[in-house]
Amino acid sequence: MKPTLRLWLSGLALSLSTFAAQAAVSIDGINFQDTAQVAGQNLQLNGAGKRVRVIVDVYAMGLYVPKADNSAAALMQGPGPRSVRIVLMRDLTGADFAEAMTKGIEQNHSDAELAKLKTRLDDLGTAMKAFGQLRKGAVVQMNQVPGTGLQVIVNGETKVKGIPGDDFYTALLRIWLGDKPADKDLKKALLSNR
């Protein structure tokens, strides 16, 4: 290979790797890659933002879906795998996490809808309480795996193997994308479709 061609190809490779490194979204130094894989399918980052409670940063979050969209309804009802990646920006207990999830689901569902979700919501709450202390920087990934249901992975370790039903994952997404989201600015960021 001629030296000029080799130099040009090296420059191109460097440019592409720099572009790929810069393509990730960064929220206060927490990086969310452009893609994630769930159940053998590549998902793309729809948006990322952070949850702020009063003035305290609680967590940064990215939403991964098969096809990007800026419609909350389309993202919640979409078929196939989906994933939420949460990185804690402060220490939390599993009980705190469970309480926040339950409250978010309750705020976005009627009593009749909650009745259909109750057993599965209780199962998730019990599993989350068993997480114990979650330190700042902990990564919680909540995947919708077709045929399996909700899978929760904490710092790379599977903690929940499957809570069934697409409806349950949709209920979970309503915490952030519903009519009464946990954080309106976070909802906007997740729908940004970058």
Write out pLDDT tens, residues 56-70. 899 999 999 999 999
| 61 DSSP β-pair partners | 49, 86
Which are the contacts of 168, defined by CB distance < 8 A and separation ≥ 6? 117, 120, 149, 150
The pLDDT of residue 194? 59
The pLDDT of residue 55? 86
Q: 83-113: per-residue pLDDT in tens?
A: 999 999 999 999 998 999 999 999 999 999 9
Residue 47: alpha-carbon gap to chain centroid: 10
Give the global pTM: 0.85
Please give the residue that has the higher pLDDT: either 187 or 79: 187
β strands within the chain, DSSP E: 25-27, 30-32, 35-38, 41-53, 56-65, 82-88, 92-93, 133-134, 139-145, 149-154, 157-163
Please give the residue that has the higher pLDDT: either 3 or 172: 172
Q: 48-58: per-residue pLDDT in tens?
A: 999 998 888 99
Return mean pLDDT, the chain: 88
Sequence length of the chain is 194
Q: What is the DSSP pairing of strand 157-163 with strand 82-88?
A: unpaired
Q: What percent of the chain has pLDDT over 70?
A: 87
Pick among 3.40.50.720, 3.30.1360.40, 3.50.70.10, 3.40.50.300: CATH of 26-190: 3.50.70.10
Q: 129-153: per-residue pLDDT in tens?
A: 999 999 999 999 999 999 899 999 9
The pLDDT of residue 3? 47
